[in-house]
Structure 1
Amino acid sequence: MALRFGADITWPPVARVQQTQILRFSTGPKQYYVNLTGISIDDTSIYFAPGTFDRNPSGGGGFVLDSGSHFTYLPELAYRIVRNALVLHFQARHLMPLVPGGDEAVGLDLCYDLLPNVDPKDLLPSMTFHFAGADLPLFYEQVFHVDLHQQQFCLAMLPETDVRAPGILGAFQQVNTQFEFDTSNGGILRMATVDCAHGV
């Protein structure tokens, strides 16, 4: 991870930069809230009720970026919808969740055995987080915690059960993405997929 400020911020020439508004609220924690409007698995959009990711009247909820959180947390109902969609996705490929499920070592909930002699990239779907004006693509490595030694994989997301807390885009899902937080002009978040290991 690299942290840059001001004129030191540059974008790789091949980067496809998108932007969304940073939301500001007069009450509550001063975090980088953004308007998450939906999520897709591969090219299939998942239905969520309007306002699922919005701040609620009491000032709770909403959606923020937080590199201090390892995994992404979704509002509990939204997480269950995503989880169920993935269960159906893998069920169609003759995979069933591990019982009782979960990976105690990393604290994750939805886990499967990898298929023998199948490359994870041929099995695991991508995901896209849709923000107002911007789409954040997540490759399978940013969606699933893959343990080749144990031959298992787990969804690297968890439910947020506290309705007062915001949903979080965690560090695991921020890998190989460059973010620019422009706090002037009302606040703009710019983002692009990059190869952080090679600076492109």
Structure 2
Amino acid sequence: SWVNTVITMASKDPERLKYLSTLADQKTTAVPIAPGQQVLKIANYVVRVKLGTPGQQMFMVLDTSNDAAWVPCSGCTGCSSTTFLPNASTTLGSLDCSEAQCSQVRGFSCPATGSSACLFNQSYGGDSSLAATLVQDAITLANDVIPGFTFGCINAVSGGSIPPQGLLGLGRGPISLISQAGAMYSGVFSYCLPSFKSYYFSGSLKLGPVGQPKSIRTTPLLRNPHRPSLYYVNLTGVSVGRIKVPIPSEQLVFDPNTGAGTIIDSGTVITRFVQPVYFAIRDEFRKQVNGPISSLGAFDTCFAATNEAEAPAVTLHFEGLNLVLPMENSLIHSSSGSV
């Protein structure tokens, strides 16, 4: 009845007022980040958040190339043992196919007529997929509580690449965290990733314009209409040691007409180039390292750790910025004693 509808709406007002009051509270929101290797035995970075009321802690993968957030829910087929318990939350809300958010999530499925829960299917990591139901609930980021956050409640997964405790999408699309919390954070965020060797949540995802780093070097984030959710940068070249690698400009150029270019993606573990660019960088690196080269799995330029001192630094040249990669970001030590 109308009376019951009004009562239900009114019961949610205190939570909404609390949220609105935070919009005027100018403070820094820093959500802890840790390397997933130490926390979940995965190679991605994870953020510590809480979902529902009372909050249930989840370690969600930080992913700037995805929009939707999703977590494994109780009863999920093929999921990890740690799941979100919808029935334990007093603020969980359902979303049906008539809601605008349903059409904003990639892979949604709805009947031609009638109303039903908003279901969606997505692939992830190249070899995995998930089936989920779109829902709403509170999400807690550090001390900020955002009511009515839209995310997917995973019902089933296949493959081995689905993050065990879910994913937090920070893309540019309308259903990402950055868009949903636009009133609170003004679409501004930065993140500082800790060493992959760190055992602690020593990194941070900073949300909102207050408290952002001041003394930084920057390169513009570009928009590409062919892939509007992604963050593009203008990579103009690569150097190995003191040698600028000869790479044809058309293999790196940002082109909004085709979707070509370089993206920043926190969810991809290893930086990847198109094959001709990678081969040119690899061959120059091999030239400057003394000793025999071997392969190990996906890595085709392995050498003895005794030659590590000969390894040249790799510099990425962006528009207005030259980024020299620390050796930790270029070399991986294997258990066999090679690099």
Scaled to the shorter chain, the TM-score interval is: 0.5 to 0.7
Q: Which residue of 2 aligns with 1:164?
A: none
1:83 & 1:61 partners in 2: Cα distance? 22
Aligned residues of 2:219 and 2:233 also touching (Cα < 8 A):
yes
2:239 & 2:221 partners in 1: Cα distance? 22
The one-letter code of the counterpart of 1:73 is: R
Aligned residues of 2:226 and 2:259 also touching (Cα < 8 A):
no
> What is the CA distance between 1:112 and its match in structure 2?
1.6
Q: Which residue of 2 aligns with 1:128?
A: 315
Aligned residues of 1:18 and 1:135 also touching (Cα < 8 A):
no
Structure 1 length-normalised TM: 0.62
Secondary structure at 1:38 match in 2:
strand
Q: Which residue of 2 aligns with 1:34?
A: 233
1:146 & 1:56 partners in 2: Cα distance? 37
1:29 & 1:144 partners in 2: Cα distance? 32
Q: Percent identity?
A: 24
> What is the CA distance between 1:152 and its match in structure 2?
0.6
Q: Which residue of 2 aligns with 1:113?
A: 304
Say whether residues 1:5 and 2:207 are aligned partners: yes
> What is the CA distance between 1:114 and its match in structure 2?
2.1
1:32 & 1:57 partners in 2: Cα distance? 12
- Which one of the candidate residues 38, 43, 52 is aligned to 2:242? 43
Aligned residues of 1:35 and 1:132 also touching (Cα < 8 A):
yes
The one-letter code of the counterpart of 1:37 is: T
2:333 & 2:271 partners in 1: Cα distance? 16
- Which one of the candidate residues 282, 286, 303 is aligned to 1:87? 286
> What is the CA distance between 1:108 and its match in structure 2?
1.9
> What is the CA distance between 1:144 and its match in structure 2?
1.3
Aligned residues of 2:225 and 2:256 also touching (Cα < 8 A):
no
The one-letter code of the counterpart of 1:127 is: V
Aligned residues of 1:53 and 1:63 also touching (Cα < 8 A):
yes
Give a deviation string over 1:105-143, Cα, whole Å, max 9, x none. Answer: xx322212222xx6x3x2222111000111111022211
Gaps of 5+ in 1: 154-200
1:65-104 to 2 correspondences below 5 Å = 65-90=264-289, 93=290, 95-98=291-294, 101=295, 103-104=296-297
2:282 & 2:244 partners in 1: Cα distance? 14
Say whether residues 1:150 and 2:336 are aligned partners: yes
1:37 & 1:79 partners in 2: Cα distance? 14
Aligned residues of 2:305 and 2:337 also touching (Cα < 8 A):
yes
Q: Which residue of 2 aligns with 1:20?
A: 219
Aligned residues of 1:128 and 1:137 also touching (Cα < 8 A):
yes
**Alignment root-mean-square deviation, CA:** 2.0
The one-letter code of the counterpart of 1:4 is: K
Aligned residues of 2:286 and 2:293 also touching (Cα < 8 A):
yes
Secondary structure at 1:79 match in 2:
helix
Gaps of 5+ in 2: 1-192, 194-203
1:125 & 1:74 partners in 2: Cα distance? 19
2:257 & 2:292 partners in 1: Cα distance? 39
Larger Rg: 2
> What is the CA distance between 1:58 and its match in structure 2?
6.4
